[in-house]
Structure 1
Amino acid sequence: MTTTSHEPEQFSVVIVGAGQAGLSVSWHLTQAGIDHVLLEQAGVAHEWRTGRWDNFTLVTPNWQCRLPGYDYAGPDPDGFMTRAEVQDFVSGYAASFNAPVRSGVEVTRLAERGDGGYDVTTSAGHFIAEQVVIATGGYHDPVLPAFAAALPASITQLHSSEYRNAGDLPAGGVFVVGTGQSGTQIAEDLFLEGRDVHLAVGGAPRVARFYRGRDCVAWLSDMGVYDVPVQQQAGGLSKRESTNHYVTGRDGGRDLDLRAFARDGMHLYGRAHSLTGGSVLFDPTLGDSLDYADSVAESIKDDIDRYIAREGIDVPTEDRYTPVWQPTAEPTDLDLEAAGISTVIWSIGYRANYRWVKVGVFDGAGHPTHHRGVTDSKGLYFVGLPWLNSWGSGRFEAIARDAGYLAERLIERVSLGRAHDESRHGQLAS
Structure 2
Amino acid sequence: MGTRQLHLGAILTGVGNDQHVWRHPDVPGNASIDIDWYIRHAKLAEDAKFDLIFIVDSPYITPDTSPHFLNRLEPLTLLSAVASHTSHIGLVGTLTTSYWEPYNVARQFGSLDHISRGRAGWNVVTTGLEGAARNYGRDEHFEHGVRYERALEFVRVVQGLWDSYEDDAFPADKDGGLFLHKDKQHPLNHKGKHFSVAGPLALTRSRQGQPVIFQAGDSSEGRYLGANIAEGTFAASPDFESGREYYADLKARAAALGRNPDKIKVLPGLFPIIADTDEEAQRIAREQVDNLDIDKLLVQLGRAFNYHDFRQYDLDAPFPDLTGVTLNSYKGAAERLIRIARDEQLTLRQAAYRNQWAKGFVGSPATIADEIERWFNGRAADGFNLNVGTPDSFALFREGVVPILQQRGLFRKDYAHDTLRGHLGLPVPENRHAQAPVAIAAE
With the length of structure 1 as denominator, give the TM-score of the two structures: 0.25
Structure with the bigger RCO (C-alpha within 8 Å, sep 6+) is 1
Structure having the higher Rg:
1
